[in-house]
Amino acid sequence: MKLALFDLDNTLLNGDSDFEWSQFLIRMGVLDAELFEAQNLGFYEQYKAGCLDIHAFLDFQLKPLSRHSRTTLDEWHQRFMRESVMPMVTQAARDLVAKHQSAGDVCVIITATNSFVTAPIAREFGIEHLIATEPEQQNGEFTGRVQGVPSFREGKITRLNQWLSGRGWTLDSFVDTTFYSDSLNDLPLLEIVRHPVAANPDDILRAHAQKHDWPIINLRSA
């Protein structure tokens, strides 16, 4: 049995669903452009630089979910999928996932982006298992707070171990473990799997991958 882990944003997607969700809400007029766009861009630059305060970001990202009903949010997300997500899905990414699925590997998307945004995207890829940052809910509605450990940096290892433990597994349960990611923020998890792969890597991850002879792949082709 083999385990294939996939980061989502800028890895399986040719773009960032977290960032694009806020931009989508701004275009919809749900969020004030002058106030939120600069903050959204600022958080995105911090993420790329490896200095993101995840709790400050989640406060920014999850609060809008608490201001609208789940029914309304789900309707907006359907439009978001059509307008913003589908253009970011490449055939190269679909083919990579299909290769692992055909081999019978256990496939998991593991992402810092919250599960409200990412669960429909995982379904689009046909990936059953999703480890994502979890927005807190009460009676099916979002509170604007995070539940549990955010799936970010070392938190991805924590959340992965929790997910494995819930199934009676550890990483050693698998004859092979592979993780595909684009980001320096995923170095903690990349360094504990047997086959780390830099997919569409940022400059820091690319340099690290070259130094350690990790494979580097491009999933951005249409």
SS3 letters for 112-163?
EEEHHHHHHHHHHCCCCEEEEEEEEEECCEEEEEEECCCCCCHHHHHHHHHH
Catalytically annotated residue among 7, 105, 186, 202: 7
Is 18 a catalytic site residue?
no
Phi, psi of 19 (to 5 degrees): -60, -45
Q: Are 110 and 5 in contact (CB under 8 A)?
A: yes
Active site annotation includes 7: yes
The answer to whether residues 197 and 179 touch, using CB atoms and an 8 Å cutoff, is yes
> Choosing from 9, 105, 186, 202, which is the catalytic residue?
9
Report d(CA 5, CA 108) in Å as an integer: 5
Would you give the DSSP letter of residue 127? -
- Beta strand 106-114 with 195-199 is unpaired
Beta-sheet pairing, 195-199 with 216-217: parallel
**Residues tagged active-site:** 7, 9
